[in-house]
Structure 1
Amino acid sequence: MTTVDARWTYQGWVWLAGYVLGPDGGARERREIFVQRAGLRWAPTPAPTPARRRNGNTTT
């Protein structure tokens, strides 16, 4: 999510805007959604992803 729109809505409702992310983490497509504030929940923070090892790299 990037913004909460300031335009008028019904009591308890908001417009949220965000972007679809590509595999590289870059923004690909803008999206908007109309939601009730009471229905929103914080998503848990994801665990850090361990660094990937490259195939074929060995140390001797």
Structure 2
Amino acid sequence: MMLSTMVEKAKGFWQDEEGLGTLEMILIIAVLITVVLLFRKEIVDLIQALFDTAGEKTQEVFE
């Protein structure tokens, strides 16, 4: 009985257009978090390289 109630609520949530917008946002956020976690080291390396390059260019300007 409780399981069937939960299934009916889940079906209602899935069919509700307002709920679908919320579901889409949750899925997008979940995908973004997953991508960041999978490529964390590469992202950190890229940002570090960008800061290093910016620092070098700044030094060139002031020399």
Task: Please classify the TM superposition score into its range, dividing by the shorter chain length.
Answer: under 0.3
Say which structure is richer in strand: 1
Give TM-score, length-normalised by structure 2.
Answer: 0.22
With the length of structure 1 as denominator, give the TM-score of the two structures.
0.23
The structure with the largest helix share of the pair is 2
Greater length-normalized contact order (CA 8 Å, ≥ 6 residues apart): 1
